[in-house]
Amino acid sequence: MINLIMFGALAVLVLLRAPVALRRPAARPAWFATVLGLLGLLAIGVVIPIPVADSWLGGTNILHLLRTALPVAAFWFLRDAVALQGGKKTGRGGPLVLGLMLAAQALIFFQIPDRGPSSIFFVDEHMIYVAGFVWALVYVSEIVWIALTMVVMLLPMWKGIYAAFIAGGLATVAGGVALVAHCGLILAGAQAPGAGGIPWTLFNFLFYPGILLIVVGFVTITVRDVYRVARWRIADYRLTRALSTYELQSTAPLATSEMPRAANPVLGAYRAAIQLRDLQSLGGVSLKPRDTRLLASVERRMTASHLSMARPQ
């Protein structure tokens, strides 16, 4: 049920954010990560049972290849989205490196013997083969590498919400190491396929919760930014309306009707606030109490914003 709710939420988010992703290149990594996450949920049988979906792909467990390739691609774009939020550049080779990583997974996967018929326990059942172990090792190594590059990138910004990204990345790395140990025990014959054990428990306790912590951190930043922009849009709208009203009463009109509306709501609110103060001092206009409170609130936010930008990083 939880997975279905997540699937529905991601589907809505993909549709809502598509126009923004088309307009703004900076929004595309987050959108790509969401699309790939949506496909990843399909690959784990959230909507269509795994045997049914895999039968459409030939019944040779190719769906399990998608279950490793899609998370790697989604995590790649999620790291890029986090980097953009933090004002960082990833510089990790771009799409070519991601393509090589996915190609490596596919190449090794198709070397695994006896890949059919469809099975939900395919991974554990095929860890007895060297190719199966190497496939799992490559998948985990790719996830761990992406997580480590993100942690290193964000270490200088370890305070606040970015601490969640760092903690999530380190948990993902530790969980990946535990998964390699689990698969190694099966390959060595020290553990039966499908059995639990300490490494498997550690993997489940660290790996996916670590990724989830990163996702929650990114969603928190996104919601915070959307809320911030919405507040500025409302302030811009209210100040602009007040400005047009008070200008009619002013003895020194500012001819604001001839000025184009600012596309950026922050700049629009800044400009309207300054012009309102000009009307007060030059045009002899008295503001209503609610407009005075609004103007004071915007000016406080302007001051806080300037101080934040001036503070050493």
Closest CA to 127 of 204, 72, 199, 76: 199
Mean per-residue pLDDT, 158-177: 85
pLDDT of the residue at 310: 42
Please list the alpha-helical segments (H only) found in 250-286: 265-282
pLDDT for 259: 54
pLDDT over 70 for what percent of the chain?
A: 88
- pLDDT at position 155, please? 82
Tokens representing 251 are 């003895």
CA distance 35 to 151: 24
**What are the distances in angstroms from CA 69 to CA 104, 132, 214, 248, 265?**
10, 15, 19, 63, 40
26 belongs to a structural domain: no
- Asked if pLDDT for residue 309 goes beyond 80, the answer is no
Q: Is residue 305 part of a domain?
A: yes
Task: Count the domains in the chain.
Answer: 1
In a domain, 240, yes or no: yes
**How does residue 291 score in pLDDT terms, banded at 50, 70 and 90?**
confident
Helix axes 62-85, 95-109, angle to 10 degrees: 160
Confidence of residue 307 (pLDDT cuts 50, 70, 90): very low
Is the confidence at residue 218, as pLDDT, over 80?
A: no
Does residue 254 form part of some domain?
yes
pLDDT-derived band of residue 129, with 50, 70 and 90 as boundaries? confident
Out of 9-23, 102-116, 156-170, 193-207, the most confident range is 102-116
Which range (47-56, 62-71, 142-151) has the least confidence?
47-56
Question: Would 277 be classed as within a structural domain?
Answer: yes
pLDDT > 90 fraction of the chain, expressed in percent and rounded: 10
Residue 104's Cβ-count burial label (10 Å; 0-12, 13-18, 19+) is middle
Mean pLDDT of 101-126: 87
pLDDT of res. 162: 81
Worst-scoring range by mean pLDDT, 173-182, 208-217, 253-262? 253-262
Q: Which domain holds residue 256?
A: 228-310
Q: Does the structure show a pLDDT above 90 at 103?
A: yes
pTM for this one? 0.74
pLDDT score recorded for residue 304: 74
pLDDT at 240: 84
- pLDDT level of residue 91 (50, 70, 90 thresholds): low
| Residue 143 resides in a domain | no
Which pLDDT band holds residue 306 (cuts at 50, 70, 90)? low
Indicate whether 157 belongs to any domain.
no
Is 102 inside a domain boundary? no
| Rounded Cα gap, residues 171 and 187, in angstroms | 24
